[in-house]
Structure 1
Amino acid sequence: MKLFKNIPAWLKNKYLLTIMVFSVWLLFFDDRDIITTHFKHRNELKQLEQSRDYYLQQIDTTKKELEDLKQNPEMLEKYAREKYWMKKENEDLFILPE
Structure 2
Amino acid sequence: MKKLPPALRNKYFIVLASFFFLMVFVDKHDLLTQIRLKNSVNRLKHDKEYFEKEIEKAKEDRLIIEQNKEKFAREKYHMHKQDEEVFVIEKKD
What is the TM-score with the length of structure 1 in the denominator? 0.61
Paired letter, 2:37 = H
Cα distance in 2 between the residues matched to 1:31 and 1:2: 32
The number of equivalent residue pairs is 91
Moved over 4 A (4+): 92-98
Query: Per the alignment, do residues 58 and 20 of structure 1 end up closer, same or farther by CA in structure 2, a change over 3 Å counting?
Result: same
Cα distance in 1 between the residues matched to 2:33 and 2:7: 35
What is the TM-score with the length of structure 2 in the denominator? 0.64
- Partner residue, 1:44: 40
Identity among equivalent pairs (%)? 26
2:85 paired with 1:91: yes
Deviation at 1:31, TM superposition (A): 8.4
8 A contact 1:27–1:35 mirrored in 2: yes
State the superposition RMSD in angstroms. 3.5
2:21 paired with 1:24: yes
Instruction: In structure 2, list runs of 5 or more residues that go unmatched.
Output: none
Deviation at 1:2, TM superposition (A): 4.7
Instruction: In structure 1, list runs of 5 or more residues that go unmatched.
Output: none
Cα distance in 1 between the residues matched to 2:85 and 2:66: 25
Larger helix fraction of residues: 1
